């Protein structure tokens, strides 16, 4: 869930050497000490990967590291299948696979980079059997694989790791019944019960209650053990061959295990949020964590009589990280913070306004609201369908619910529930952060480039995206006070430099955009129409390039309305330019460009050219520069495509 993309750690980073890993995997797997040392080595490499990438989920990686090590070093046969349903523990799995020699050692340097190791698992990576990162799908996926095995006459064991916060998702419970009915004894599920989800303790967010009783009532064989006690874990994972029930092992673990200051039971989580769920450690934190982990590893090696524990030190300079680096000047703006402040203003004026959260207060800017209006804050846990239908009930009874999650989840997981609400004609605001293709670091499960399509046809719903931090408050104000129906506010999460200065007196007219490039002339050859900070900044830079290199004049229009275009306004604009270029931070199908094209086809029977740039395939994972370039959406690609479209006889 939560995925803060922070700064990469620079300086001296340390990884376990390839030679050490090779020697480690030659140690007999029967020895628990060898497995424990393997896990420690993998923790060190996981820390390295996350620090270098600038983001990742260190706490959950460390809580499941012993489980991964035991499974891969001892429990699983060569054909057996493992995958993690929670997915954000991907660096732990990558470290394991690298430790086993199944993934190239060099990939340690390429977490969350293009052609490297994605932020969440993807089948393009060797050893990854399914894409995860959207929660709750794991058991269902495994059931499908087992049914395929049975039909194809194969027999393998399947091991699926889940989180504990993940168990708040309805699909988890939905998936339990048929595994019992079909006697899927090939299936072992391990719950990494580290007690902490994105924001804080599971028990504070949405308590799981008597988990063993629940799972037993669903007919599964249920066991529970200390997930860091390899002997206990090993025993819990041994199956009785006469038992046809699927097995679920609740492994009690510690989030951040191995680094005392990251271990959740050392932190005051009764009152504070857990600080190491996502993002990268600071340099000091990195050093402290490394010290703790290497001390443990050295002690384990000594006890085991393992010689030759060797480190590689990699010196990284700031320029070399590439993480989230762009050609834009500082300082970046935080739209999510601006949103959090803007919400307070609306909340003060509207006592009927309530905020609903799905375990992402940090990522959706809700902490100030939660503190100021605890009675009007509803924590729903990782249960988006329940959250959205609750909002529906509230709206029917006169409240103004504001529903929050990541755009990728909010627009799709409760898609039918949002439509059900829409058919009731009530007013609800939906706020999706992490909207658009950036940050590219978490990977495609989190890159929300289909939300406008998924929500665009909701009757009575207006979709909006601010182009800069200064536009957040006006758009929210419009959504709360002027919008006749429901609204969806799409927010960039990645800090980003403002591409333009928004005049305070800018008038919001539904479906109309406005010029943001001061040097633009009313009659230009090209007009870029874009939304959101990322593509507006690329459009600005592309316009500069075109002007400088080819003498082509270009206007840049910010159109914050994602699912409506004022046809008259567009006709007027089209009359002044030779080519309209719609830039979509979204798949080309279903994005803002469709609305522009639609208005053009209906209303503008002119000779204005139309070029539409947007995603045409599943987004790649990587740094901002990498991702924009890969999809032809950086300034250079935009300028080139525009120049090509202007050339005589060019199609688009």
**Residues of this chain, 7-66, that bind its own copies according to CB under 8 A:** none
3-class DSSP assignment, residue 91: helix
Span near its own copies by CB under 8 A; candidates 46-54, 135-143, 190-198, 468-476: 135-143
Interface positions, 178-217, toward its own copies (CB under 8 A): 178, 180-181, 206-210, 213-214, 216-217
* Residue 569 engages its own copies in binding (rule: CB under 8 A): no
User: Quick check: 14 and 312 in contact, CB under 8 A?
Assistant: yes
Instruction: Look up residue 75 and give its two tokens.
Output: 């429990």
In the list 593, 628, 633, 634, the residue contacting its own copies (rule: CB under 8 A) is: 593
Structure tokens that stand for 272 in this block: 């504070």
3-state percent breakdown (helix, strand, coil) of the chain, nearest 5 = 40, 15, 40
* Joined tokens for residue 138: 């794991």
Counting every residue written for the chain, the total comes to 652
Select from 1-9, 62-70, 268-276, 607-615 the region that touches its own copies (CB under 8 A).
607-615
Q: Which two tokens stand for residue 42?
A: 């993998």
CB of 572 to its own copies, least distance (A): 15
Check: CB of residue 94 under 8 Å from CB of residue 128.
Answer: no
524: left (phi over 0), alpha (psi -120 to 50) or beta: beta
Q: How many CB atoms lie within 10 A of CB 551?
A: 8
Q: List CB contacts of 487: < 8 A, sequence separation 6 or more.
A: 429, 430, 461, 462, 463, 464, 479
Do 44 and 294 form a contact (C-beta atoms < 8 A)? yes
Pairing of strands 11-16, 311-316: antiparallel
DSSP line for 122-173: -TTSTT--S---STT-HHHHHHHHHHHHHHTT----EEEEE-SGGGGSHHHH
Q: Which residues contact 18 (CB under 8 A, 6 or more apart)?
A: 105, 312
Which residues have C-beta within 8 Å of that of residue 520, sequence separation ≥ 6? 543, 553, 554, 555, 556
Candidate ranges 104-112, 263-271, 613-621, 629-637; the one touching its own copies (CB under 8 A)? 613-621
By CB under 8 A, tell whether 147 contacts its own copies.
yes
CB of 490 to its own copies, least distance (A): 15
Q: Which is nearer to its own copies, 54 or 609 (CB)?
A: 609
Residue 347 beta carbon to its own copies: minimum distance, rounded to whole angstroms:
13
Among 336, 611, 641, 646, binds its own copies (CB under 8 A): 611
Q: Which is nearer to its own copies, 478 or 610 (CB)?
A: 610
- Rule CB under 8 A: say whether 435 interacts with its own copies: no
Q: Please, what is the minimum distance in Å from the beta carbon of residue 40 to its own copies?
A: 32
**Cα 329 vs. chain centroid, distance in angstroms?**
25
Which 440-459 positions form the footprint of its own copies (CB under 8 A)? 444-445, 450, 453-454, 456-459
Between 54 and 165, CB nearer to its own copies:
165
Beta bridge mates, 400: 353
Determine the interface stretch with its own copies among 279-287, 312-320, 322-330, 605-613 (rule: CB under 8 A): 605-613
Within residues 153-182, the interface with its own copies by CB under 8 A covers 168-175, 177-178, 180-181
- Choose one: 361-369, 492-500, 589-597, 623-631; the region binding its own copies (CB under 8 A): 589-597
| Shortest distance, position 633 Cβ to its own copies, whole Å | 16
Measured CA to CA in angstroms, residue 45 lies from 92, 294, 606 at distances of: 8, 11, 59
Q: Which is nearer to its own copies, 45 or 453 (CB)?
A: 453
Residue 368 near residue 404, CB atoms below 8 Å: no
Q: Does 590 bind its own copies (CB under 8 A)?
A: yes
Write down the least CB distance from residue 230 to its own copies, Å. 29
Q: Show contacts with its own copies in window 537-566 (CB under 8 A).
A: 563
* Residue range at the interface with its own copies (CB under 8 A); choices 142-150, 239-247, 288-296, 545-553: 142-150
Could you give the CA distance from residue 436 to residue 615 in angstroms, rounded to a whole number? 10
Round to whole Å and give the CA distance between 542 and 634.
Answer: 8
Of the candidates 30, 151, 319, 504, which one interacts with its own copies according to CB under 8 A? 151
Residue 144 within binding range of its own copies, rule CB under 8 A: yes
Residues numbered 410 to 429 that lie near its own copies (CB under 8 A) are: 412-413, 415-417, 419-420, 422-425
What is the spatial distance between Cα 560 and Cα 500, in angstroms, rounded to a whole number? 14
Q: Which stretch binds its own copies (CB under 8 A): 40-48, 310-318, 332-340, 408-416?
A: 408-416
Work out how close the CB of 407 gets to its own copies at its nearest, in angstroms, rounded to a whole number.
Answer: 12
- How far is the C-alpha of 357 from the C-alpha of 379, rounded, in Å? 5
Per CB under 8 A, contacts with its own copies among 335-374 are 354
Note whether 398 binds its own copies by CB under 8 A.
yes
Token output for 523: 């009659």
Among 232, 344, 618, 629, binds its own copies (CB under 8 A): 618
Enumerate helices (H) and strands (E) in the chain, giving the number of each: 25, 20
Q: Does 595 contact its own copies by CB under 8 A?
A: yes
What is the Cα–Cα distance from 232 to 588, expressed in whole angstroms?
A: 52
Per CB under 8 A, 243 contacts its own copies: no
Is residue 383 close enough to count as binding its own copies by CB under 8 A?
yes
Binding residue count for its own copies, defined by CB under 8 A: 117
Distance between first and last Cα of the chain: 38
Binding-site member from 102, 244, 602, 644 for its own copies (CB under 8 A) = 602
Rule CB under 8 A: is residue 650 a binding residue for its own copies?
A: no
Tokens of 579: 């080519």
Contact 623, 323 (CB under 8 A): yes
Instruction: Supply the angle between the helices 32-53 and 283-304 in degrees, to the nearest 10.
Output: 160
Give 411 or 512: the residue with its C-beta nearer to its own copies.
Answer: 411
Given candidates 43, 72, 73, 141, which one binds its own copies under the rule CB under 8 A? 141
Phi, psi of 601 (to 5 degrees): -65, -35
State in angstroms the smallest separation of the CB of 300 from its own copies: 37
Among 305, 605, 647, 648, binds its own copies (CB under 8 A): 605
- Contact with its own copies (CB under 8 A) among 1, 142, 527, 541: 142
- Hey, what are 198's tokens? 């994105």
Residue placing its CB nearer to its own copies in the complex, 39 or 366: 366
Nearer to its own copies, 320 or 425 (CB): 425
């Amino acid at each position: 869930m939560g995925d803060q993309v922070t700064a990469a750690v620079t300086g001296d980073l340390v990884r376990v050497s390839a030679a050490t890993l090779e020697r480690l995997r030659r140690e007999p797997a029967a020895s628990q000490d060898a497995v424990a040392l393997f896990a420690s080595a993998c923790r060190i490499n996981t820390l390295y990967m996350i620090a270098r990438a600038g983001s990742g989920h260190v706490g959950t990686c460390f809580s499941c590291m012993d489980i991964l090590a035991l499974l891969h070093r001892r429990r699983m046969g060569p054909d057996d299948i493992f995958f993690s349903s929670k997915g954000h523990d991907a660096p732990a799995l990558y470290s394991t696979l690298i430790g086993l020699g199944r993934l190239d050692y060099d990939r340690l340097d390429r977490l969350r980079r293009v052609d490297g190791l994605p932020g969440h698992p993807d089948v393009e990576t060797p050893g990854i059997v399914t894409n995860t990162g959207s929660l709750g799908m794991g058991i269902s996926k495994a059931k499908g694989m087992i049914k395929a095995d049975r039909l194809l006459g194969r027999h393998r064991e399947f091991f699926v790791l889940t989180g504990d916060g993940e168990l708040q998702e309805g699909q988890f419970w939905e998936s339990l019944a048929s595994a019992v009915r079909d006697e899927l004894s090939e299936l072992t599920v391990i719950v990494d019960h580290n007690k902490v989800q994105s924001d804080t303790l599971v028990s504070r967010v949405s308590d799981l209650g008597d988990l063993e009783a629940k799972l037993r009532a669903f007919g599964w064989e249920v066991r529970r053990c200390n997930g860091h006690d390899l002997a206990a874990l090993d025993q819990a994972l041994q199956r009785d061959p006469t038992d046809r029930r699927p097995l679920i092992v609740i492994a009690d673990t510690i989030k951040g295990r191995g680094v005392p200051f990251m271990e959740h039971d050392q932190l005051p989580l009764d009152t504070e949020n857990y600080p190491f769920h996502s993002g990268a450690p600071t340099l000091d934190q990195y050093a402290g964590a490394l010290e703790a982990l290497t001390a443990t590893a050295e002690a384990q090696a000594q006890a085991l009589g393992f010689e030759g524990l060797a480190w590689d030190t990699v010196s990284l300079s700031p320029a070399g990280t590439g993480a989230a680096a762009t050609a834009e000047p500082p300082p970046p703006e935080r739209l999510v913070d601006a949103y959090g402040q803007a919400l307070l203003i609306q909340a003060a004026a509207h006592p009927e306004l309530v905020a609903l959260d799905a375990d992402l207060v940090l990522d959706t800017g809700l902490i100030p609201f939660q503190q100021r209006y605890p009675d009007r804050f509803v924590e729903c846990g990782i249960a988006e369908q329940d959250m959205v239908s609750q909002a529906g009930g509230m709206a029917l009874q006169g409240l103004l619910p504001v529903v929050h999650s990541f755009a990728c989840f909010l627009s799709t997981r409760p898609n039918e529930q949002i439509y059900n609400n829409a058919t009731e004609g009530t007013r609800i605001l939906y706020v999706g952060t992490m909207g658009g293709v950036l940050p590219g670091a978490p990977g495609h499960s989190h890159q929300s480039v289909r939300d406008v399509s998924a929500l665009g046809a909701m009757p009575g719903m207006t979709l909006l995206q601010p182009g800069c931090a200064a536009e957040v408050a006006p758009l929210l104000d419009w959504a709360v006070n002027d919008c006749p129906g429901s609204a969806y506010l799409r927010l960039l999460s990645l800090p980003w430099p403002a591409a333009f200065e928004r005049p305070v007196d800018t008038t919001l007219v539904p479906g109309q955009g406005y010029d943001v490039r001061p040097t633009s002339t009313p009659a230009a050859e090209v007009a870029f129409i874009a939304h959101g900070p990322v593509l507006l900044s690329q459009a600005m830079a592309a316009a500069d390039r075109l002007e400088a290199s080819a003498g082509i004049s270009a206007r840049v229009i910010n159109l914050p309305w994602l699912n409506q275009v004022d046809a008259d306004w567009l006709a007027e604009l089209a009359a002044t330019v030779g080519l309209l270029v719609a830039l979509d931070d979204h798949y080309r199908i279903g994005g803002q460009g469709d609305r522009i094209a639609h208005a053009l086809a209906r209303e503008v029977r002119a000779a204005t050219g139309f070029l539409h740039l947007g995603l045409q395939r599943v987004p790649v994972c990587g740094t901002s520069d990498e991702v924009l370039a890969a999809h032809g959406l950086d300034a250079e690609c935009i300028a080139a495509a525009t120049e090509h479209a202007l050339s005589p006889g060019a199609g688009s």
